[in-house]
């Protein structure tokens, strides 16, 4: 019986082919737009978060108690090797890296600015967060004598410093005296992490120890995991093992980025709701007219023994054919579009100054998440189902058998 109903439904849709195609096109276009928008906006948000995680926070960071509130050399992680050993034994941990950090001043022969000095191990940083991939100019190497420095891109622009130029960094050391170090700029890093690009001067770890008179200890230990879903569990484990330390997730270190992600989720949800409500209205209009113009047809079917349940199934089948065809078209169009932007990205270089102000990459790569397609399927199903409920109610009340006698 279902095959007969399916055939009748298909024939009905074919009879009003242009109208059916319009509804399918409407659903397909709305899905296409939504998928593109969701994938692109999520791509933007996640890229910014990824930059922050890779270049600074990791999935988790360990600090001495209250270092974040009052950063200074008197609050260091005294035993980074012990923490390192503990992390090495954890199979969920992909990598970890230590940094020494101090606020200071950077100066050229003509100009000076406040800066944050980071003592780092470049090899470890590259293995950890692929820091070398952010190199914008020069080389990713402090040189044989370790007298090179890598500068954040915006700091270099503001200082008007280029690769090869000399700089002097000065900062307060652990003896509360101001000490200075002359270095040569070997490279410029553009991480799109605004805090780093604006202020960071990366220098060799041993040079930083000399400058700051800190023979041991580090300010921060950044940890990356294989699986982001394990962050809470690893964080809890570290808190139990090292209760004297602050173990903070990336979202605690960058609350603005977490807020941005949450806002984007709400924004996408509202837009999707709006679009599917309107699309549902379109399906409703077509199904209502489709039911009303066939009252006599349904009356005859009822008169020859078709049950109302079978007619209802037929109407549902019609609307789901429309809905799922539109879904198929939208998924195909949207999926292909996302695939293109996933591979090649959306090049917004012409707005790079504006994107820099928001800490965004000039080329945005779209994300493709299975949830986009499942959510869209659920939304199309609900919109399709809800949009035929009223026409069916009207059909039931209209007493189709009486309609046979009407002209």
Site residues, other proteins (CB under 8 A): 18-19, 22-23, 25-26, 29-30, 33-34, 36-37, 41, 70-72, 103-115, 158-160, 170-172, 176, 178, 194, 198, 255-256, 259-260, 262-263, 267, 271, 274-275, 278-279, 281-282, 285-286, 289, 293, 348, 351, 353-359
- Closest distance of CB 231 from other proteins, Å: 20
**Nearest residue (CB) to other proteins, 115 versus 122:** 115
Q: What is the DSSP string of 339-361?
A: HHHHHH-EE-GGGHHHHHHTT--
Give me the half-sphere count of Cα atoms (radius 13 Å) on the Cβ side of residue 191: 30
Give me the half-sphere count of Cα atoms (radius 13 Å) on the Cβ side of residue 151: 31
- Closest distance of CB 151 from other proteins, Å: 14
Tell me the C-alpha distance between 284 and 263, whole Å: 31
Tell me the C-alpha distance between 171 and 272, whole Å: 52
Tell me the C-alpha distance between 278 and 281, whole Å: 5
**Nearest residue (CB) to other proteins, 14 versus 309:** 14
- Closest distance of CB 84 from other proteins, Å: 29
Neighbours of 160 (CB within 10 A): 10
- Closest distance of CB 308 from other proteins, Å: 24
**Nearest residue (CB) to other proteins, 204 versus 251:** 251
**Nearest residue (CB) to other proteins, 88 versus 103:** 103
- Closest distance of CB 165 from other proteins, Å: 12
Tell the residue number behind the tokens 């980025």, with chain if given: 257
**Nearest residue (CB) to other proteins, 53 versus 115:** 115
**Nearest residue (CB) to other proteins, 234 versus 279:** 279
- Closest distance of CB 214 from other proteins, Å: 15
Which residues in 27-57 are b (16+ Cβ under 10 Å) and which e?
A: bbbbbbbbbbbbbbbbbbbbbbbbbbbbbbb
């Amino acid at each position: 019986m279902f095959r007969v109903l399916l055939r009748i439904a298909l024939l009905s849709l074919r009879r009003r082919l242009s109208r059916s195609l319009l509804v399918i096109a409407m659903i397909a276009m709305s899905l296409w737009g939504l998928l593109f928008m969701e994938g692109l906006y999520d791509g933007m948000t996640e890229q910014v978060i990824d930059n922050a995680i890779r270049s600074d926070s990791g999935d988790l960071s360990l600090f001495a108690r209250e270092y974040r509130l009052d950063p200074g050399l008197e609050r260091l992680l005294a035993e980074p090797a012990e923490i390192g050993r503990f992390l090495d034994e954890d199979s969920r941990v992909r990598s970890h890296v230590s940094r020494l950090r101090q606020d200071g001043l950077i100066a050229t022969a003509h100009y000076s600015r406040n800066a944050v000095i980071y003592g780092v191990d470049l090899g470890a940083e590259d293995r950890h967060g692929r820091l070398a991939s952010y190199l914008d100019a020069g080389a990713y190497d402090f040189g044989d004598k370790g007298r090179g420095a890598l500068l954040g891109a915006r700091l270099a622009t503001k200082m008007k410093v280029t690769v090869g130029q000399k700089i002097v960094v000065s900062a307060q050391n652990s003896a509360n005296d101001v000490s200075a170090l002359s270095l040569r700029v070997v490279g410029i890093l553009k991480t799109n992490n605004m805090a780093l690009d604006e202020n960071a001067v990366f220098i060799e770890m041993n040079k930083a120890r000399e400058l700051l008179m800190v023979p041991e200890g580090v300010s921060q230990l950044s940890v990356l995991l294989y699986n982001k879903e394990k962050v809470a569990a690893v964080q809890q484990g570290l808190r139990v093992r090292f209760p004297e330390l602050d173990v903070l997730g990336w979202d605690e270190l960058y609350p603005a980025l977490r807020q941005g992600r949450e806002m984007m989720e709400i924004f996408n949800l509202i837009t999707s709701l709006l679009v599917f409500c309107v699309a549902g209205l379109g399906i409703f209009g077509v199904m209502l007219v489709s039911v009303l113009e066939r009252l006599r047809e349904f009356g005859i079917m009822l008169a020859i023994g078709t049950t109302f349940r079978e007619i209802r199934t037929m109407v549902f089948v019609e609307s789901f054919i429309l809905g799922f065809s539109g879904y198929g078209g939208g998924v195909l169009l949207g999926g292909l579009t996302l695939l293109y932007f996933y591979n090649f990205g959306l090049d917004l270089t012409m707005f790079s100054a504006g994107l820099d102000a928001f800490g965004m990459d000039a080329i945005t790569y779209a994300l493709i998440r299975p949830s986009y397609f499942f959510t869209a399927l659920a939304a199309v199903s609900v919109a399709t189902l809800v949009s035929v409920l009223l026409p069916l109610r009207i059909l039931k009340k209209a007493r189709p058998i009486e309609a046979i006698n009407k002209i």
